[in-house]
Amino acid sequence: MADLLVVGSVALDSVATPFGKVREVLGGSATYFSYSASFFTRARLVAAVGEDFPKEHTRLLESRGVDTSGLSVVRGRTFRWSGEYGYDLNDARTLDTQLNVFAEFRPTLASEARSVPYLFLANIDPALQLEVLRQMTRRPKLVALDTMNFWIQGKRDALVRVLGEVDVVTINDAEARQLADEANLIKAARAIAALGPRTVVVKRGEYGALLLANGGFFMVPAYPLESVYDPTGAGDTFAGGFMGYLASRDATDGATLRRAMIYGSVMASFTVEDFSLNRLVRLTPAEVSERYAEFEQLMRVEPVE
Amino acid sequence: MADLLVVGSVALDSVATPFGKVREVLGGSATYFSYSASFFTRARLVAAVGEDFPKEHTRLLESRGVDTSGLSVVRGRTFRWSGEYGYDLNDARTLDTQLNVFAEFRPTLASEARSVPYLFLANIDPALQLEVLRQMTRRPKLVALDTMNFWIQGKRDALVRVLGEVDVVTINDAEARQLADEANLIKAARAIAALGPRTVVVKRGEYGALLLANGGFFMVPAYPLESVYDPTGAGDTFAGGFMGYLASRDATDGATLRRAMIYGSVMASFTVEDFSLNRLVRLTPAEVSERYAEFEQLMRVEPVE
């Protein structure tokens, strides 16, 4: 079992879906990621919140063993995001973004964090992702990053630079097409791999996820859920399960990557069953194992006798 | 190996995609289905064409061993369909439909066809699908049907009646949602199964296909194609591979159904690589086996040691 560090956001989200709505609940990429990863390995989080950030949220992360010593509390208000989803839960519509203290976020790693073997650069400005990489005193065994349309459009040069230095990129399908400027997703994934990351993970929402590693593809379906309440955080929860499993095995070979894809899908499938981290908070390790077995069953083909 | 009969359309298609266009090429549900099935078993076709139908098309089907004795040549012109696709190849836009002789098509099975063990009712008026079923002198071991939005909207009662008498339905995702009046695809599949068919196959285009059988799900991804030229006929080609494999094994147990899903996906993945049946015409059985193995590889997860 190896340590895993995530640098990203901790936020208060307000979300409306056809199935209900919530106001100012715990959210943020580093939150979902670290909570999900905590089912597999020791997770540390680097992020910033304002003085208004409820202490119980920090305690919730700590109750899972997440190291929150990298969570700076700074003057001002916590990052807030507000969005809604229609019946097509694949598409979030952002209603409001208040960056607040997150606007000035300049991640600084504590000295013991500078040598973690597994590092996840969640969806933040690619210039900051690069700054974090520069702070590492030892090249991690595995660095992954996530990004989004905002940076692909506005900071493409910086993004391409940092992509050249990471091992894994996690990205959703529309953004993969946008980054590669290529409508065909398979070509797009190969084009992204050509930018540097030897492993490309494309998140496809209700259609599952795709792995391109060492030139070969692996596809995992989404779990057949009858009720999806809120897809917020699904991608970061996926990444937390994926990276958390890799760190727990301290391995990145092909077979381990494939199992990590399933663990990522397992964790994401729970997150979307309720708002915020509510379902994860009720989740037990036994449920994780059970759903992993169900995923295997969902994909199993017996050889022709 | 058991006989497989398909009742459906034989057409002349004009298709435009971003990658080219073709005029009055061989198409139709029974055509794609029987040609695809011919790689696995003895296929028979029941359909009607006009006097203008090129003889070489019939000879092409016969060259694969398809029994075309049920192909009636009647006075008038052959069914013509014209459509186009944008870069999102999941959505066909119909430009023109000329039913011609197909408007009067009343399928009548020859006496030896009335006892085939495997029957596929391709996408035609559900009232005709029911008429075909009524002509069977022996209940087939497996009856499957395909349908589309046009019948779901316009002939729902007849469709629900025939669904109550078949074993398998193949349907695309948007139509599954429409038929079940349910946005969640998993609930929609279960609702369709509740109408009668114990096996539901949902075709999801570039996202693969889903099987619901005996209450459990199986998901097969789409083959990671870098160039899709024309999706026309992919669904019927899938059904031909699926049913062809079941008939070839003369079995419908769960493990065989899963392999059949992969063979269906294999055949569909070839069809979309070129216009009309062009790619299938060049296809060899060795290529089919190779791609089946690639599908297994695409989905393989080694157990945790």
Question: Does the distance separating the beta carbons of A224 and B219 come in below 8 Å?
Answer: yes
Per-residue pLDDT at A37 exceeds 70: yes
CA-nearest of A285, A286, A283, A291 to A265 is: A291
Task: B278-286: list long-range contacts, CB under 8 Å, 24+ apart.
Answer: B280/B32, B280/B35, B280/B36, B280/B237, B281/B60, B283/B39, B285/B39
| Burial class, A117, CB count within 10 angstroms (exposed 0-12 / middle 13-18 / buried 19+) | middle
pLDDT band at B89 (very low <50, low <70, confident <90, very high): confident
Which residue of B186, B190, B259 is in closest CB contact with A304? B259
Q: Does residue B182 belong to the interface with chain A, where contact is any CB pair within 8 Å? A: no
- Beta partners for B72? B48
Q: How confident is the prediction for chain A on average, in pLDDT?
A: 96
Note the pLDDT of residue B130: 97
Query: Is B217 an interface residue toward A (CB < 8 Å)?
Result: yes
Write out the DSSP string of A77-98: PPPEEEEEE-SSTT-EEEEEEE
Evaluate whether A121 touches A99 at the Cβ level (below 8 Å): no
Q: Write the pLDDT tens digit of every residue in A111-130.
A: 999 999 999 999 999 999 99
Provide the pLDDT for residue A132: 98
The pLDDT of residue B302: 86
- Could you give the percent of chain B with pLDDT greater than 70? 100
End-to-end CA distance of chain A: 39
The verdict on B117 touching A (C-beta cutoff 8 Å) is no
> What count of CB pairs under 8 Å joins A to B?
82
pLDDT at A303 over 90: no
Sort out which chain A residues have CB atoms less than 8 A from B88's CB and list them: 183
Mean confidence (pLDDT) of chain B: 96
CB contact under 8 A, B183 and A300: no
pLDDT greater than 90 at residue A25: yes
Please list, in sequence order, all residues whose beta carbon lies within 8 angstroms of the beta carbon of residue B191, skipping any fewer than 6 positions away: B180, B182
Give the Cα separation of B125 and B146 in Å (integer): 10
pLDDT band at B87 (very low <50, low <70, confident <90, very high): confident
What pLDDT sits at residue B305?
60
pLDDT digits (tens, 9 = 90+) for B223-267: 999 988 999 999 999 999 999 999 999 999 999 999 999 999 999
Asked if B100 contacts B79 with a C-beta cutoff of 8 angstroms, the reply is yes
Q: What are the chain B neighbours of A217 within 8 Å (beta carbons)?
A: 224, 298
Q: Parallel, antiparallel, or unpaired for β B11-17 and B20-27?
A: antiparallel
A299 and B187 within 8 Å at the Cβ level: the answer is no
Joined tokens for residue A194: 């050509």
Say whether residue B187 is in contact with chain A using an 8 A CB cutoff. yes
User: pLDDT value at position A177?
Assistant: 96
Residue B27 CA to residue A101 CA, distance in Å, equals 61
**Which two three-digit tokens encode residue B112?**
């030896």
Provide the pLDDT for residue B86.
Answer: 84
What is the per-residue pLDDT for A92?
83
CB atoms within 10 A of CB A297: 11
Q: Would you call B301 and A304 a contact, using CB atoms and an 8 Å cutoff?
A: no
Could you identify the residue written with the tokens 């080609």?
B237
Query: Within an 8 Å CB–CB cutoff, is residue A216 touching chain B?
Result: yes
Say if residue B71's pLDDT is above 80: yes
Q: Which two tokens stand for residue B284?
A: 């060899």
Q: What single-letter amino acid sits at B29? A: S
- Whether the per-residue pLDDT at B91 is higher than 80: the answer is no
Interchain contact, B226 vs A184, CB within 8 Å: yes
Structure tokens that stand for B292 in this block: 């089946």
Q: pLDDT: is B88 or B139 the higher one? A: B139
Is B219's CB within 8 Å of A221's CB?
yes
Compute, in degrees rounded to 10, the torsion defined by CA atoms B281, B286, B291, B292.
Answer: 120
Is B226's CB within 8 Å of A186's CB?
yes
Identify residue A110 by its one-letter amino acid code.
A
Lowest mean pLDDT among A82-86, A169-173, B215-219, B301-305: B301-305
Q: Is the dihedral of CA A66, A68, A69, A71 positive or negative?
A: positive
Q: Which of B226, B228, B288, B301 is nearest to B259 (CA)?
A: B288
CB atoms under 10 Å from CB of A137, counted, come to 9
pLDDT at A89: 77
- Give all domains of chain B, ordered by start, each with its CATH number: 4-299 (3.40.1190.20)
Contacts of A301 in chain B (CB under 8 A): 255, 258-259, 262, 296, 299
Q: Which of B232, B227, B178 is nearest to B202 (CA)?
A: B178
pLDDT reading at A227 higher than 90: no
CA distance B300 to chain A (A): 8
Are the CB atoms for B163 and B196 separated by under 8 Å?
yes
Contacts of A200 (CB under 8 A, 6+ apart): A168, A169, A171, A176, A189, A192, A193, A211, A212, A213
Contact assignment for B216 to A186 by CB distance below 8 Å: no
Query: Residue A219 and residue B207: Cβ atoms within 8 Å?
Result: no
Contact check, Cβ <8 Å, A299/B218:
yes
Lowest mean pLDDT among A163-172, A173-182, B87-96, B154-163: B87-96
Nearest CA in chain A to B302: A255
CB-CB: which of A190, A219, A259 is closest to B298? A219
Share of chain B above pLDDT 90, in %: 94
Contacts of B226 in chain A (CB under 8 A): 184, 186-187, 190
Å between B154 CA and nearest CA of chain A: 25
What pTM does this model have? 0.95
- Contact between chains at B217 and A224 (C-beta distance less than 8 A): yes
| B174 reaches A (C-beta below 8 A) | no
Question: Measured between CA atoms, how close is A53 to chain B, in angstroms?
Answer: 36
Q: What is the pLDDT of residue A88?
A: 74
Looking at residue A164, its pLDDT comes to 98
Burial B115-133 (b: 16+ CB within 10 A, else e): ebbbbbbbbbbbebbbbbb
Whether B32 has a pLDDT exceeding 70, the answer reads: yes
Q: Could you read off the pLDDT of B115-164 as tens digits, one per residue? A: 999 999 999 999 999 999 999 999 999 999 999 999 999 999 999 999 99
Q: Quick check: B305 contacting A, CB < 8 Å?
A: no
Interface membership of A204 toward B (CB under 8 Å): yes
Q: Where is average pLDDT lowest: A83-87, B68-72, B148-152, B170-174?
A: A83-87
Cα distance from A11 to chain B (closest Cα, Å)?
A: 29
pLDDT of residue A90: 73
The label of the residue with tokens 């702070």 reads: A135
B183 close to A (CB below 8 A): yes
Cα–Cα nearest to B117, from B183, B43, B62: B43
In this prediction, residue A305 has a pLDDT band, given cuts at 50, 70 and 90, of low
